Amino acid sequence: MAGLIVHEWVEKTGGSEKVVDQFVHQFPDADVFVLWSNDPGRFGQNLRESWISRTPLRRSKVTALPFEIPTWRRIPERRSYEWILSSSHLFAHHARVPRQRDIPKFVYAHTPARYIWEPDLDERGRSAAARVISTAIKPLDRIRAQEARAIATNSEFTRARAKRTWHRDSVVIYPPVDVARITSTSVWAEALDEQERLLLESIQPGYLLGASRFVSYKRLDLVIAAGEASGRPVVIAGAGGLKGDIVRRGKEASVPVVVVESPRDRLLFALYQRAFGFVFPAVEDFGIMPVEAMAAGTPVIVGPVGGAKESVNAAQGGVVLRDYSSESLREAVIDLEHVDRRGLPARAGMFSNEAFRARIGDWIANGI
């Protein structure tokens, strides 16, 4: 008998999709079921999409929401399954094959749905309508979480949220990061094309790097504040709707600020390697980019709340801010001098794809 991997929906980029990539690598014979996929060909012949994928609902996650829970309860039977492995950040942990209700279900929770359980952390849950819907869904969501044979979460931060909301404990299995790819090239600057190389060479050395989507909760303004507090230049890399705000803030800053829009991976890795430090103030459930920076040999500054501080502490890879004051930012930048950079890529290896697959494989085998 084979397994069944389920996931909410598939985008071309995203940390949760990278988790499913590793699920499929570990269990290549498993079927994969998603509500819809925006990345055709990913996960190969074993991928199946729900009926929602054939409707306009796939273009609006909010509109599709009322139809998702009943869809997860009616996954079409393709063959007999030994287990279900759910990658859930919304309702995929509700998954059920109606004629095989006794299949052990293992839930890898990226988070219980934040806009339902903790709307202060997700603006989608702040409207009056969303709060009414959340009140109705919470009891059902908690009941369905009890169906899981076992739950794994991506950090102690998320584990605490799952215990608080679902009333279920979990084992922490940190998500996969492609550490091997980053460490495979000792000098990423040598892999750049001419335009990228000229851009990299134009940036003042000793800079602080911030990289993410240009959205408010990522707090890229605090990366610039860290540069001002320490007198270091700043590079902001990414893309998003707040680019104009970031550019304006950079022009007002007391230190040079360079905005690099939508860098390719090789340029991002080169920026990591050349940075004095990577600053990641966002409150995240885990945070992939701090691990990428550490894999590139660059120490990290993270905020006092969230899962990112777990990877930094485990890899001895940087500094956790005590708060977001200018003094705390300045002291954190100074303290980066004391991080062992040479051994940092090897220590980041604990978050590799290979380590993740081994832990997931053991977790499933021990739970069946």
Is the per-residue pLDDT at 121 higher than 70? Answer: no
Q: Is 67 exposed, middle or buried (0-12, 13-18, 19+ CB in 10 A)?
A: middle
Rounded distance, CA 253 to CA 247, Å? 10
- Helix 243-252 / helix 221-230 crossing angle, nearest 10 deg: 20
Query: Could you report the per-residue pLDDT of 137-171, keeping only the tens digit for each?
Result: 999 999 999 999 999 999 999 999 999 999 999 99
pTM: 0.92
pLDDT tens track for 170-213: 999 999 999 999 999 999 999 999 999 999 999 999 999 999 99
Strands 2-7 and 277-280: unpaired
Residues 285 and 18: their CA atoms lie apart, in Å, by 15
| Predicted confidence (pLDDT) per residue in 282-341, tens digit | 999 999 999 999 999 999 999 999 999 999 999 999 999 999 999 999 999 999 999 999
Which burial class, exposed, middle or buried, applies to 241 when counting CB atoms under 10 A from its CB (0-12, 13-18, 19+)? Answer: exposed
Q: Domains in the chain, please, with CATH?
A: 2-176+352-367 (3.40.50), 179-350 (3.40.50.2000)
pLDDT digits (tens, 9 = 90+) for 8-21: 999 988 889 999 99
Query: Cα-flanking dihedrals φ and ψ of residue 107, to 5°?
Result: -110, 120
The percentage of residues in the chain with a pLDDT greater than 90, rounded to a whole number, is 87
Asked if 38 and 10 count as a contact pair (C-beta separation under 8 A), the reply is yes
pLDDT for position 142: 97
Query: Lowest-pLDDT range, 86-100, 117-131, 258-272?
Result: 117-131
**The CA-based dihedral angle spanning residues 192, 196, 198, 204, taken in that order and rounded to the nearest 10 degrees:** -100
Q: Which two tokens stand for residue 49?
A: 């999409």
DSSP 54: G
Kindly write down the DSSP assignment for every residue of 262-319, as one continuous string.
S--HHHHHHHHHH-SEEEE-S--SS-HHHHHHHHTT--EEE-SSSTHHHHHHHTT-EE
Mean of the pLDDT values across residues 94-102? 94
Q: What is the pLDDT of residues 44-94, one digit of tens each?
A: 889 999 999 999 999 988 889 889 999 999 999 899 999 999 999 999 999
Cα–Cα distance measured from residue 226 to residue 319, given in angstroms and rounded to the nearest whole number: 13
3-state SS, residue 354 = helix
Q: Are 356 and 108 in contact (CB under 8 A)?
A: no
Predicted confidence band at 114 (pLDDT cuts at 50, 70, 90)? confident
For 295, residues 6+ apart whose C-beta sits below 8 A from its C-beta are 177, 179, 182, 183, 344, 345, 348, 349
